[in-house]
Structure 1
Amino acid sequence: MSLDKIIDRAFAPAFAAVERRDIPGAMLGIVTADGQRDVRWKGHAQIEPHEESLSRGTWFDLASLTKVIFTTTRILHLVEEGRIALDDPLITAIPDLRQYDMSAAERRLTFRQCLAHQTHLPAVEPLYTYGQDPSTLRAFILQRVWRSGPPVYSDINFMLLGIAIERITGQALIDQPLPESLSFRPVPRLCAATEHCTWRERVIRGEVHDENAFALGGASGHAGLFGTIDGVLDFAQGLLDGSALSAPSLEVVRTRESETRTVGWEGSYPGWHGGDVCSPTTIGHTGFTGTGLWIDFERGLAWSLLTNRVHPSRHRDSGIVDLRRATGERVIALFDGRTRP
């Protein structure tokens, strides 16, 4: 089956979700290791305060895809350059981490542990409620006595990694070099809107939706990256064809650090967001705004579903979990030459 027919049928659940007004807009892109690519989209980049339609060039707030597309990849490039090792402690780059307590648990955390979410740090903290001075908030993150708990998916892990990148490179995250179709500073009028933020008292468009990333200056290790569908697919193709990372780094992102996680990514498991027919080598990640990327290395196939499901409010059921799974299962089934109703 040709790629254009595959994507037409695989896009059906997202098409229906837009028709039902579960989500304002959706875009599905598929790319293969040999460079075949196709994209479909429907709906609106914005519905409030006025309607604007999506186009292939619409930029999306990628939310936690920042963790894998930017932060994980940048850390692995620094490893490839010999500037750090994955099992080095963070204090290699951030010697002032918990500097008032030399025995603090945070001083023993490694890059690998943070990337794989194998730390004691909490999932999230409303840092933006403590102020909006980025330098002070960074200092707060470094000196905070964090509550301890079992390993969880943690934004704090990636905030620390973002600070480490800034220290190692001597360059703020928002100024880090990026491919043309990815940016921490998008043109707002080209972006899909996210939420009507009760804190900022406006519809968010072209500035990061995540409140903590906004308070940290617009970019953090856990959120802040924007991209077009082609920017996301370019990145995915680079992983599939081996041009984005060295062979050892690719092996790292494909190797489990826990039952469900690799370095940076999630690995496929029963019931996960990518659907239940992915190969065991599939990795993926999602973003709170309604984004997602999945890479099936066994099939040489990747797909990205980008939506603005939090527009105009996160406080409703958009059905995004079921939509992601249904889309992934159709992509794989059709790619394998099967048919789905």
Structure 2
Amino acid sequence: MKDTASASPELAAVFERAFAPLEKSVTDKRIPGGVLGIVDLKHGRMTRATGSAQVVPIERPMTVDTWFDLASLTKVIFTTTRILKLADEGTIDLDAPLTTLLPDLRQYNAEAWERKITFRQCLGHQTPFPGVEPIYTYGRDPDLLRAFILQREWKAGPPVYSDINFILLGFALERLAKKTIRDLDPGRGFAWSTDPENSAATEDCAWRQRILSGEAHDENCSALQGSGHAGLFGTVKSVLDFAESLLDGTGASGSAIALMRAPLSNRRTHGWEHPYADWWGGSLCSPGTIGHTGFTGTSLLIDFDKGRAVTLLTNRIHPTRHFDSGILPLRQAVCNLVNQT
């Protein structure tokens, strides 16, 4: 266990009570390890690690310098931030269809519903795309898979949280930059792959037939060799630095931050989530809170009303996702203890 702190006594007390559920989850062997980080504009920041970054086939300790596969935090830290910046600049119109940048989307059917989907709808998961699709099972050629995604006649359903929305937003970023996602700057303190020896291991993957560490866990992201919905790596410091930049207004424009906070549905804003009943962020969040989670066991909560952010980074799917890690009640407990008055 290692501490880093530049925190006031008030924040240190908050941190101590919020860290206890994480430590208990490790002691109870629900998760191998984790790192908790809190940043407060008035009271500083504090981080601490506990448990193991890897337990099979070797054991490595978790530290505050461990890199994590951030999974769907990629959606908010990378993709949403860049899409909203492009909207600020007038490069894209959020209410324009994706075909303004992806004219070949369902190009053989001019009336296809996919051609009418807008950037804003994708950001808010307000499209008919399916929630889950094993794209990687159709092959490992990233160019072929991109063409498959663009030309497939997708089965329409009610709006649900869908990776397809952000895969397509990632394609739009690639078209504008004329580079693949992995050739784009991931942002300060972030990376698209990391040293396996200094990373939190994820799953013993049946598809890739190895323990994953330092490479994207998400199968579709792996097969696409980079995408807008997953694949970003970061440390607790880089995640807190990002959160602090939104809290103090240096990481995005005022209009972009307003959109991140503006509800598009009863759960979602532009890219992010906001509080709802039984939210993973707990029941004590102030109204000015946004957040997101990642499948690998990561989360980030940003409370603009309090000027505070909390990130919980765990390797809860190591060595397998097929185990009840208790990640939802853990997230709720940590967030409620952070926000407890």
Question: Shorter-chain TM-score category?
Answer: over 0.9
| Identity across matched positions, percent | 56
Aligned-pair distance for 1:2? 2.0
1:274–1:284 Cα contact (<8 Å) kept = yes
Q: Which residue of 1 aligns with 2:213?
A: 205
Identify which range, 81-90 or 200-209, moves more after superposition: 81-90
2:201–2:315 Cα contact (<8 Å) kept = yes
Aligned equivalent of 1:39, options 32, 47, 67: 47
* Residues 273-311 of structure 1 deviation map (CA, whole Å, 9 limit, x = unaligned): 000000111111000000000011111110000000000
Q: Secondary structure at the match of 1:43?
A: strand
Q: Which residue of 2 aligns with 1:310?
A: 317
* Residues 106-138 of structure 1 deviation map (CA, whole Å, 9 limit, x = unaligned): 111100000000001101210111100000000
The CA distance in 1 between the partners of 2:90 and 2:307, in whole Å, is 29
Q: How does 1:22-37 map to 2 (within 5 A)?
A: 22-34=30-42, 36-37=44-45
Aligned-pair distance for 1:185? 2.3
Q: Secondary structure at the match of 1:267?
A: coil
Q: Which residue of 2 aligns with 1:157?
A: 165
TM-score, length-scaled by structure 1:
0.96
Note the aligned Cα RMSD (angstroms): 1.0
Q: Which residue of 2 aligns with 1:17?
A: 25
Pair 1:125 & 2:129 matched: no
- State the AA in 2 paired with 1:299: K
Q: Give every structure 1 segment of 4 or more consecutive aligned residues whose post-TM-superposition deviation is greater than 6 Å.
A: none
Unaligned runs of at least 5 residues, structure 2: 1-8
Aligned equivalent of 1:116, options 121, 124, 130: 124
2:10–2:43 Cα contact (<8 Å) kept = no
Aligned-pair distance for 1:35? 7.2
Q: Which residue of 2 aligns with 1:331?
A: 338
Aligned-pair distance for 1:180? 3.7
The CA distance in 1 between the partners of 2:186 and 2:173, in whole Å, is 14
The CA distance in 2 between the partners of 1:9 and 1:62, in whole Å, is 25
Aligned-pair distance for 1:330? 0.2
The CA distance in 1 between the partners of 2:43 and 2:180, in whole Å, is 33
Aligned equivalent of 1:244, options 233, 246, 251: 251
Q: Which residue of 2 aligns with 1:186?
A: 194
Q: Secondary structure at the match of 1:182?
A: coil
- State the AA in 2 paired with 1:295: I
Unaligned runs of at least 5 residues, structure 1: none
* Residues 229-262 of structure 1 deviation map (CA, whole Å, 9 limit, x = unaligned): 0110011001101111111111101010011110
The CA distance in 2 between the partners of 1:178 and 1:77, in whole Å, is 15
The CA distance in 2 between the partners of 1:122 and 1:33, in whole Å, is 39
Aligned equivalent of 2:234, options 216, 227, 243: 227
1:34–1:241 Cα contact (<8 Å) kept = no
- State the AA in 2 paired with 1:224: G
- State the AA in 1 paired with 2:10: S
Aligned-pair distance for 1:5? 2.2
- State the AA in 1 paired with 2:332: R
The CA distance in 1 between the partners of 2:87 and 2:177, in whole Å, is 13
Q: Which residue of 1 aligns with 2:286?
A: 279
1:193–1:308 Cα contact (<8 Å) kept = yes
Identify which range, 2-11 or 139-148, moves more after superposition: 2-11
Q: How does 1:58-207 map to 2 (within 5 A)?
A: 58-207=66-215
The CA distance in 1 between the partners of 2:43 and 2:106, in whole Å, is 46
2:292–2:301 Cα contact (<8 Å) kept = yes
The CA distance in 2 between the partners of 1:36 and 1:170, in whole Å, is 40
1:93–1:164 Cα contact (<8 Å) kept = yes
The CA distance in 1 between the partners of 2:62 and 2:89, in whole Å, is 39
Aligned-pair distance for 1:86? 1.1
TM-score, length-scaled by structure 2:
0.96
2:33–2:62 Cα contact (<8 Å) kept = yes
2:32–2:55 Cα contact (<8 Å) kept = yes
2:77–2:242 Cα contact (<8 Å) kept = yes
Pair 1:216 & 2:224 matched: yes
Q: Which residue of 2 aligns with 1:288?
A: 295
Q: Secondary structure at the match of 1:284?
A: strand
Aligned-pair distance for 1:36? 1.2
1:295–1:302 Cα contact (<8 Å) kept = yes
The CA distance in 2 between the partners of 1:190 and 1:250, in whole Å, is 33
Pair 1:48 & 2:56 matched: yes
The CA distance in 2 between the partners of 1:52 and 1:203, in whole Å, is 13
Aligned-pair distance for 1:34? 4.6
- State the AA in 1 paired with 2:139: G
Aligned-pair distance for 1:187? 2.0
* Residues 128-181 of structure 1 deviation map (CA, whole Å, 9 limit, x = unaligned): 111000000000000010000000000010110000000011121111113342
